[in-house]
Structure 1
Amino acid sequence: MTALHVEGGAPVRHISVLRDEAVDALAPVDGALYIDGTFGAGGYSRALLEMADCRIVGIDRDREAIAGGASLVEASQGRLMLVNGRFGDLKEITANLGVERVDGIVLDVGVSSMQIDDAHRGFSFRFDGPLDMRMGGEGPSAADLVNDLSEKDLAALIRTLGEERRANAIAKAIVSERNNSRIETTLHLAKICETVLGRAFDQINPATRTFQALRIAVNDELGELLRALFAAEEVLAPGGRLAVVSFHSLEDRIVKTFLAERSRTTPNVSRHAPATFAAAPTFIPVVRSATPGDDEIARNPRSRSARLRAAERTDAPARGPSDSLAYGVPHLPALTTIMGGQ
């Protein structure tokens, strides 16, 4: 296939991490249908379109990403369709399009560079902007969580989703500060984290883990990921492939656990109960684990923590959703209550 030329489009500011490896894992072929569940700037979609005469449904909950993909849709000459939605709903999205089975799904989990670099979105402590972090613009914002959660619940959120060891101290400092004035901006929160952890020099910024926790919570990223994995099992045709790129241990643990459990062929053995044989595997591993090479990290430092896992769908019946806790999605009761209206 020849390259797709997009005339007059804005420069692409988001670099799809492990793009070639993820697309190779999907092994695109002519006439197939693929889902790009995190369209972003269209990096994976563009590569798929160039490798095969295939069709793609691109999904993104960010309306700005959908609008920014208009030029690629036009250049694809009818082979690319964009849908504003969540990849956790991809089963419903494909059903609404009259699609029963797809040949491949790629997911790039987390926040995009475009979102991080836009101060008005409130994802980054590097710029001053509203403390928002909502990918889709709906539901409670990060500021709502910071100002409305109790100190205990805020500490639990930062410790669990941010893996921050000083979560209790940060939560205490946040509550003390919000008693004086509501915390509404990114730099306001970042300075609070700095007062607790000290300034960063060559080490990780002191606000990094707190911002990560709030972003994951606001967008229900871990729940969305697991729902997408369950949906992928439902909609992938036998022989279809799933490729997932994750960026931190919480995400990767969910993907790793899901694929390991769905590809298990050995019996479940417990000293507390009789041995039971696992259901027929629904996936076969294709890429157990791949990380960026030195060249990619040099070009795109944000790729350094990325990991790719990929698997091929068997013809065994889908097992359907099960307890999210078993896959590493934490349950935070207070967060469930405050996010109930999302």
Structure 2
Amino acid sequence: MSIPLLVQIPLDPIRLARITEAGFEIHLAPTPEERAEMIPKLAPVLRAVLTNGATGLTAEAIAALPKLEIICCVGVGHENVDLRAAKARGIKVTNGPATNDVTVADHTWALILSVARNIPAADAAARRGEWMQSRGPRPLVSGKRLGILGLGNIGRQIAERGERGFGMQVAYHNRAPKPESPYAYMPSLKALAEWSDFLVIAAPGGAGTRHLVNAAILDALGPKGFLINIGRGSVVDTEALIAALAEDRIAGAAIDVVDGEPEVPPALAALRNIIITPHIGGRSPEAMMATASLVAANLTAHFAGEPVKTPVPMPAD
């Protein structure tokens, strides 16, 4: 008999089929309205939830699901899952590390090159017949300074591409240095921003990183510096970013995540010196199948009475 699974995020048919094949009965509820209607109906039987870091699962939702045993997050993020509420009930929480890191690193470099060379605007100008007008000089990427906030799996792959492919100097800032890393450690985010030509945000979301990139950090990056965010929108103070771009206090930005997505503030969308992609950094066919397979593996292991493959550590208190 199939085990009911509430899916709180949009998923393509291929991934849904992969999870269904593993023996789970899909109940799709990707919007808050659909979840509000479906959770009370499924409460007596629902044992598993599939979500992601941005959507998460609140303490209230957990309390409304008395049979819930496991929460699976697609991708590495789990910042909006109430881990304390899950721990109190003995509910397992899993995530998806190393399933889309290669794809996100590739997308990061697409953003870096696009914003440095102003590719979208140049393409649009050429299509309008403004051939000569679109040929202004743009900054070189090779040999520049690449700063990375968050040297996890994704940050490390971004760094390797920059160093090996573009001959860049690389430095990073984390909560603590990584002794095994060959890259320079900066003691503060401000120091990293001051040093960087390109500052990449590869940090997770959550209360601990909210608005780490504020007006002071953007001013430290300076009028020749570029900001790239493929981590979480909440890491960047959007109002501060809008002001810095509008006043040319930084050279430009390229982001795959927006605080409050899918809504994009009109003032941000109207700026000429930013590139915005709709959180597609991890969306390659290879990565999408890997995430679905890991979800299926975690769910299967749990309901077979085995340890899950990628447990999220629970808070100590």
TM range (shorter): 0.3 to 0.5
Q: Could you tell me the TM-score, scaled by structure 2's length?
A: 0.32
Structure with more of its chain in helix, by fraction: 1
Q: Could you tell me the TM-score, scaled by structure 1's length?
A: 0.31
